[in-house]
């Protein structure tokens, strides 16, 4: 055995946490890290949120799991609430983002199958995409580093450059079933599709009878200041995968669909053992209680603006470390001038947690409940991290030499 009993698939930081409080993670020896990684956009309400703790504790004492052989009232309720809040008419609950995407892809293929077009099974995706690590979702994501060594790539996925709507249009053929994208790419480096592109893609889907699938696993559930990121564009999809933030740390996901798109998903066609179980539903409903509270999302946008302005000032002060600030809401990215792994390590040195992404970006994904004080401390720590890597003289040094 080499090292540990675990697969060596994760390059873990040498850190272990004992507990969490809001935006903070605390090690066994009491060191406090400001958590702007948020378990990769999962801890939407931070750590130890009293409403979530109460919801899961109460449910845990009553019932954990019964399977989808029976009615699950919490599932019905969460489904109805997601339908009421979105374009969707139907919901299928899963345990993860990848499974939510699998459900969306299967739903799209099945739609064409029951409409007499079984040859339409291909999905167009965009470079930089991340849709999960199952065999189909690595094919959808199209990233060579995730595909290599796992046998033939699952058939049925074609990719064009990020935001290249013209190329997507050219690729549409008699076998095309759907177009799939993240309205704001997460792993790809916090890259947002312009509203105009989403509108054109919607038009293309309507014209060619394709289904538009949004992956809001990372950018959904209030992350951008709207319940779902696509709301900023006014464009609605036919299918949407969600996960991460809806569970607030409990593993769960969902595929949302219009009635029409879900037409092929009849009894026995798809399934899951754990998906939508009472524990997950108690937490999902509790997350929605908070996120849908009056004013909650407006406050996310207000805090996001404070944070973005603070980050822009840091980019101005240390252009040899941070080239640019991107993103929307509390899904922000530092486009780094130096290797992002180095910047991430410097931030960790300041006891601030962030997440590297593609395109040499550092993601900042604080809990939606982050306080103004947390943001102030976070900006101080990010500034200190940038200063430690910068060759530019600091403001105080400049003053001293003047
Ligand atoms: C994390 C993520 C996934 C995969 O979710 P898992 O729960 O890890 O399977 C899919 N799409 C996007 C946009 C993600 O950020």
CATH number at residue 302: 3.90.1150.10
Say how many Å lie between the CA of residue 274 and the centre of ligand 1: 18
Q: Which of 259, 291, 323 is the last residue of a domain?
A: 291
Tell me which of 235, 268, 291 is where a domain ends: 291
Q: Does position 114 have pLDDT exceeding 90, yes or no? A: yes
Domain co-membership, 86 together with 217: yes
Per-residue pLDDT of 44-77, as tens digits, reads 999 999 999 999 999 999 999 999 999 999 999 9
* Model pLDDT, residue 198: 98
Which among 131, 220, 356 is the best mutation to test ligand 1's pocket, defined by most ligand atoms within 8 Å of the CB?
131
**27/57 same-domain check:** no
For every residue of 333-370, DSSP letters joined together read: EEEESS-HHHHHHHHHHTTEE-EEETTTEEEE---TT-
What CATH number is given to the structural domain containing 135?
3.40.640.10
Domain total for the chain?
Answer: 2
What percent of the chain lies above the pLDDT cut of 70? 97
- Render pLDDT for 29-45 as a digit per residue (tens, 0 to 9): 999 999 999 999 999 99
287/302 same-domain check: no
Residue 212 domain-assigned (yes or no): yes
Same domain? For 320 and 256 the reply is: no
Residue 333 belongs to what domain range?
17-41+294-398
Residue 329, pLDDT score: 98
Looking at per-residue pLDDT, the higher value among 328 and 391 belongs to 328
144-187 pLDDT, tens digit per residue, is: 999 999 999 999 999 999 999 999 999 999 999 999 999 999 99
**253 and 284, same domain (yes or no):** yes
* 6: in domain: no
Q: What is the pLDDT of residue 396?
A: 57
Q: Please tell me the predicted confidence (pLDDT) of residue 365.
A: 98
Distance 186 CA to ligand 1 centre (A): 9
CA distance 359 to 363: 11
Residues 192 and 330 in one domain: no
Residue 246 shares a structural domain with residue 162: yes
Residue 1 pLDDT grade (very low, low, confident, very high; cuts 50, 70, 90): low
Residue 178 lies in a domain: yes
Same domain flag for 73 and 201 = yes
Q: Are residues 268 and 203 in the same domain?
A: yes
Predicted local distance difference test score (pLDDT) of residue 3: 75
**For residue 359, is it within any domain?**
yes
Kindly indicate the confidence band of residue 385, based on its pLDDT and cuts at 50, 70 and 90.
very high
CA dihedral (218, 223, 228, 233) positive or negative = negative
Whether residue 275 is found in the same domain as residue 243: yes
Residue partners of 357: CB distance under 8 A and separation at least 6: 186, 187, 188, 189, 190, 333, 340, 363
pLDDT tens, residue by residue, 11-21: 999 999 999 99
217 a known binding residue? yes
Judgement on whether residues 185 and 272 belong to the same structural domain of the protein: yes
Mutate to test the pocket of ligand 1, among 218, 254, 358 (most ligand atoms within 8 A of CB): 218
**Do both 203 and 92 map to the same domain?**
yes
What is the pTM for the complete model shown? 0.97
Report which protein residue has its CA nearest ligand 1's atom 10.
131
């Amino acid at each position: 055995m080499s090292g540990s009993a675990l697969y060596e698939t994760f390059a873990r930081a040498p850190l272990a946490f004992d507990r969490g409080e809001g935006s903070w993670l605390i090690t066994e020896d009491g060191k406090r890290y400001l958590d702007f990684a948020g378990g990769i956009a999962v801890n939407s309400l931070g750590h130890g949120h009293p409403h979530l703790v109460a919801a899961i504790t109460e449910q845990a004492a009553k019932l954990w799991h019964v399977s989808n052989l029976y009615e699950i009232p919490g599932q019905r309720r969460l489904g109805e609430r997601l339908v009421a809040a979105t374009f969707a008419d139907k919901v299928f609950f899963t345990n993860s983002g990848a499974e939510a995407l699998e459900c969306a892809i299967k739903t799209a293929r099945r739609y064409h199958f029951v409409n007499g077009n079984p040859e339409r099974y291909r999905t167009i995706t965009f470079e930089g995409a991340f849709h999960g690590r199952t065999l189909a979702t690595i094919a959808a994501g199209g990233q060579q580093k995730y595909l290599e060594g796992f046998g033939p790539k699952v058939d049925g996925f074609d990719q064009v450059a990020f935001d290249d709507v013209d190329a997507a249009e050219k690729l549409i053929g008699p076998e095309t079933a759907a177009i799939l994208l993240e309205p704001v790419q997460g792993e790809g480096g916090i890259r947002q599709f312009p509203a105009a592109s989403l509108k054109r893609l919607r038009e293309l889907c309507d014209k060619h009878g394709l289904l538009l699938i949004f992956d809001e696993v990372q950018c959904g559930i209030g992350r951008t200041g709207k319940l779902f990121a696509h709301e900023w564009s006014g464009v609605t999809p036919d299918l949407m995968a969600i996960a991460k933030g809806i569970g607030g740390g409990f593993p769960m996901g969902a595929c949302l669909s219009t009635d029409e798109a879900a037409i092929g998903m009849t009894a026995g066609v798809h399934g899951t053992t754990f998906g939508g179980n009472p524990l997950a539903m108690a937490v999902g409903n509790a997350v929605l209680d908070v996120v849908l509270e009056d004013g909650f999302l407006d406050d996310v946008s207000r805090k996001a603006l404070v944070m973005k302005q603070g980050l822009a000032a840091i980019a101005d002060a240390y252009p040899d470390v941070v080239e640019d600030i991107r993103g929307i809401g509390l899904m922000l990215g530092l486009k780094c001038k130096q290797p992002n792994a180095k910047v991430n390590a410097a931030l960790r040195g300041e006891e601030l947690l962030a997440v590297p992404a593609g395109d040499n970006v550092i993601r900042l994904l604080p809990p939606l409940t982050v306080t103004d004080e947390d943001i102030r401390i976070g900006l101080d720590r990010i500034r200190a991290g940038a200063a430690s890597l910068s060759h530019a003289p600091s403001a105080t040094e400049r003053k001293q030499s003047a």
